[in-house]
C-alpha cells in the first residue's frame, strides 16, 4: 500500500534560503556508549548522565570564618581558599534548596535546574551517510541529546511533523524534497559539500550546515531543540539605584575578585552614554574587540575569550573609543552611537555566557535587555532617604521585583540595611562601605580591586560568594 501524503506541497512551491551565521564552538569530550537508532542499536557516543552516582544531596553552607582574624588579601594562602569558596557554587554534586513547594533543584554548575515539563519529541536525523551521522551523534552526545535516526521514507514521514528539529543529510535531501512533505521550520541540511547543501536548501526551505567548518553550530541547535541552554556562566546584572553610588566600581571589583579566585570573568558595559568600563580599568588603549566590532553578530557566536581587551585578568567589553575623544565610529566628532541592535546584543551575551564562568553586566538602564533575562539582579542603594526613593522608582520602572539589594554605607548614610530592605520590599544580599581610595583610582584609571582597602575587598568577597551561592 502506498503511504498517504498529508498536506502535499503545491507544485512549484519553493521557500527562500535562510542565511546562518556561525562561529566556532568548542565541544567537550564525547563519552562512549550505545546510541539508540530506530530499528537497531548503534555503537557510538551517548549522552552523559544528568545526575551523579550518589544522587541529589544537600551541601552544607560554606563556613563564614567568624572568630578568627582575616589575614588580608595578600596572605599566601588566601587566594587558594577563596578560590575554592567561589568555585563551590559553580561545581560539585547535584543538590537542592528550599522545602516543600518551594524546593528546587540546582544543577552541577550551581545554577537552578529547569522545572521538568512535558516530554518532547526527539530530534530527527535523516541520513544514510555513516561519516556524517558520526559527526551529528558526537555533537548530540556532547549536549545530552539522543536523536532518532531515520534512513527510510516511512520513518522520515512518521517523525517529520513532530520533531522539534530536523537535520537532513545531503545524501537524502533529493529524496525528502520529492516526498511532498508539509512545509515546516527548523530544518537544516548537513553535508560536506557547500554547493550540494545550498542547492537543496531552497526546495526544503532549510539552512545549510557545511562540515567540518560549521560543526560548532550543531550543539547549540540540538540544545535549543531540547529546551535547554548551553550557557555555563553565572550572569550578574548590576544597576545603581541612583547616580553616584559606585555601581560601576562595584561591578568591576566583583569581576576582579572572581578572577583572583580562579573564575574567568568578563565585565560588560551596557551604558552607551557612560565613561566606559575601559576607562575604569585604564584599558582604553588596550587592543581587542569593542561593541562596534560585534554590531553584526547574530545566531551563535564563537568563543570570545582572548579577543577582548584584558586588564588584571578581566576581559572588558566596552563601546568603541575614537581618536577624536568620543565613543563610537559615527556621529559628529565621534559621538556615541549606542549599543548594537537587540539581535547582536543577545548573540554576544549568549556567547559570553558560554565562554566565561562569571559575566558581570554594568547595566544602568536595563530596558528590555535581550540575553540577560535569567541574570541575578543587584540593585546598589545608598543608605539614605533620597537614594532609597530613587531606587524604589527605578526598580518599579524596570520590573526588578526579583532584585537583591546591595546597601552602600558610610559617612552621611545613616539608614540601617534592614530599613532599606523594608522600604524597598527587597532582600539585602550584601553591605559595601565607602572607600576613599576608589574615587581617586577611578580618575586615573586604576582598577578598583587593586586600589581598594582590605575592608572593601572583604565585603566584595562576601558579596561574590553570596551571589554565586544563590545563582
> Where is the domain boundary, 175, 207, 226?
226
Verify that 311 and 338 share a domain, yes or no: yes
Task: Decide: 295 and 17 in contact? Cβ < 8 Å.
Answer: no
Angle at 362 between CA 361 and CA 366, to 5 degrees: 85
Report the chain (471 residues): mean pLDDT per 10 consecutive residues: 46 43 41 43 44 45 42 42 50 39 37 42 92 90 86 92 90 92 87 89 87 82 69 85 90 94 92 81 90 80 85 90 47 51 82 89 70 81 95 90 93 93 94 91 90 93 88 60
What pLDDT, on a 0 to 100 scale, did the predictor assign at position 221?
Answer: 82
Verify that 342 and 464 share a domain, yes or no: yes
Distance CA 360, CA 358 (A): 6
Distance CA 352, CA 356 (A): 6
C-alpha cell at 204: 526544503
Verify that 178 and 259 share a domain, yes or no: no
Task: Decide: 459 and 438 in contact? Cβ < 8 Å.
Answer: no
Angle at 283 between CA 279 and CA 286, to 5 degrees: 145
> Where is the domain boundary, 208, 226, 244?
226
C-alpha cell at 43: 555503537
Verify that 268 and 350 share a domain, yes or no: yes
Verify that 136 and 204 share a domain, yes or no: yes
Verify that 142 and 256 share a domain, yes or no: no
Task: Decide: 206 and 168 in contact? Cβ < 8 Å.
Answer: yes
Distance CA 429, CA 421 (A): 10
Distance CA 58, CA 104 (A): 11
What pLDDT, on a 0 to 100 scale, did the predictor assign at position 27?
Answer: 39
Model pLDDT for residues 378-431, shown as the tens digit of each residue: 999 999 999 999 999 999 988 888 899 999 999 999 999 999 999 999 999 999
Q: Domain with 126 in it: what CATH number?
A: 3.40.50.2300
Distance CA 381, CA 392 (A): 9
* Whole-structure pTM value: 0.57
In a domain, 300, yes or no: yes
Verify that 310 and 451 share a domain, yes or no: yes
What pLDDT, on a 0 to 100 scale, did the predictor assign at position 299?
Answer: 64
Distance CA 105, CA 108 (A): 10
Host domain of residue 180: 32-47+118-226
In a domain, 275, yes or no: yes
In a domain, 63, yes or no: no
Verify that 239 and 260 share a domain, yes or no: yes
CB within 8 A of 316, min separation 6: which ones?
A: 266, 267, 269, 277, 278, 281, 283, 286, 288, 308, 309, 310
Verify that 323 and 258 share a domain, yes or no: yes
In a domain, 101, yes or no: no
In a domain, 134, yes or no: yes
Domain count of the chain?
2
Q: What is the torsional sign of CA 249, 252, 258, 260?
A: negative
Verify that 309 and 418 share a domain, yes or no: yes
Verify that 247 and 164 share a domain, yes or no: no
In a domain, 12, yes or no: no
> Where is the domain boundary, 157, 191, 226?
226
C-alpha cell at 316: 572588558
CA atoms within 13 A on the CB side of 365: 7
In a domain, 298, yes or no: yes
Verify that 186 and 294 share a domain, yes or no: no
What pLDDT, on a 0 to 100 scale, did the predictor assign at position 322?
Answer: 56
CB within 8 A of 11, min separation 6: which ones?
A: none
Rounded to whole angstroms, what are the CA distances from 415 to 4, 385, 396, 466?
75, 8, 21, 22
In a domain, 317, yes or no: yes
Q: Domain with 420 in it: what CATH number?
A: 3.40.50.300
Amino acid at each position: 500500500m502506498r503511504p498517504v501524503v498529508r498536506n502535499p506541497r503545491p507544485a512549484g512551491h519553493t521557500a527562500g534560503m535562510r542565511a546562518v551565521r556561525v562561529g566556532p564552538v568548542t565541544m567537550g569530550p564525547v563519552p562512549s556508549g550505545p546510541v539508540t537508532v530506530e530499528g537497531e542499536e548503534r555503537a557510538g557516543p551517548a549522552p552523559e548522565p544528568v545526575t551523579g552516582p550518589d544522587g541529589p544531596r544537600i551541601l552544607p553552607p560554606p563556613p563564614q570564618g567568624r572568630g578568627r582574624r582575616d589575614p588580608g588579601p595578600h596572605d599566601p594562602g588566601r587566594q587558594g581558599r577563596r578560590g575554592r569558596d567561589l568555585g563551590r557554587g559553580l561545581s560539585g554534586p547535584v543538590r537542592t534548596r528550599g522545602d516543600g513547594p518551594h524546593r528546587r533543584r540546582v544543577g552541577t554548575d550551581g545554577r537552578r535546574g529547569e522545572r521538568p515539563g512535558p516530554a518532547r519529541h526527539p530530534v530527527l536525523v535523516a541520513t544514510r551517510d555513516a561519516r556524517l551521522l558520526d559527526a551529528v551523534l558526537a555533537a548530540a552526545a556532547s549536549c545530552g541529546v539522543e536523536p532518532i535516526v531515520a534512513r527510510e521514507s516511512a520513518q522520515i514521514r512518521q517523525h517529520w511533523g513532530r520533531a522539534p528539529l530536523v537535520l537532513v543529510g545531503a545524501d537524502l535531501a533529493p529524496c525528502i524534497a520529492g516526498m511532498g512533505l508539509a512545509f515546516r521550520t527548523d530544518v537544516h541540511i548537513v553535508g560536506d559539500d557547500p554547493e550540494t547543501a545550498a542547492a537543496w536548501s531552497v526546495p526544503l526551505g532549510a539552512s545549510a550546515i557545511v562540515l567540518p567548518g560549521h560543526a560548532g553550530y550543531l550543539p547549540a541547535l540540538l540544545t535549543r531543540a531540547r529546551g535547554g541552554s548551553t550557557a555555563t556562566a553565572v550572569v550578574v546584572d548590576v544597576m545603581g539605584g541612583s547616580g553616584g553610588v559606585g555601581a560601576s566600581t562595584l561591578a568591576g571589583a566583583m569581576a576582579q575578585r572572581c578572577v583572583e579566585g580562579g573564575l574567568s570573568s568578563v565585565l560588560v558595559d551596557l551604558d552607551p552614554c557612560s565613561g566606559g568600563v575601559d576607562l575604569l580599568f585604564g584599558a582604553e588603549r588596550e587592543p581587542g574587540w569593542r561593541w562596534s566590532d560585534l554590531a553584526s553578530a547574530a545566531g551563535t557566536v564563537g568563543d570570545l575569550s582572548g579577543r577582548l581587551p584584558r586588564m588584571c585578568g578581566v576581559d572588558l567589553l566596552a563601546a568603541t573609543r575614537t581618536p577624536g575623544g568620543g565613543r563610537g565610529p559615527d556621529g559628529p566628532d565621534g559621538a556615541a552611537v549606542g549599543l548594537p541592535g537587540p539581535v547582536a546584543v543577545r548573540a554576544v551575551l549568549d556567547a559570553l555566557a558560554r565562554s566565561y564562568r562569571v559575566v558581570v553586566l554594568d547595566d544602568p538602564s536595563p530596558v528590555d535587555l535581550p540575553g540577560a533575562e535569567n541574570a541575578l539582579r543587584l540593585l546598589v542603594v545608598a543608605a539614605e532617604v533620597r537614594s532609597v526613593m530613587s531606587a524604589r522608582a527605578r526598580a518599579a520602572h524596570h520590573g526588578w521585583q526579583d532584585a537583591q539589594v546591595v546597601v552602600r554605607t558610610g559617612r552621611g548614610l545613616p539608614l540601617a540595611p534592614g530599613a532599606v530592605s523594608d522600604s524597598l520590599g527587597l532582600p539585602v544580599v550584601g553591605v559595601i562601605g565607602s572607600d576613599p581610595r576608589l574615587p581617586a583610582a577611578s580618575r586615573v584609571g586604576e582598577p578598583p580591586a587593586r586600589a581598594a582597602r582590605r575592608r572593601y575587598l572583604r565585603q566584595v568577597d562576601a558579596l561574590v560568594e553570596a551571589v554565586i551561592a544563590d545563582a
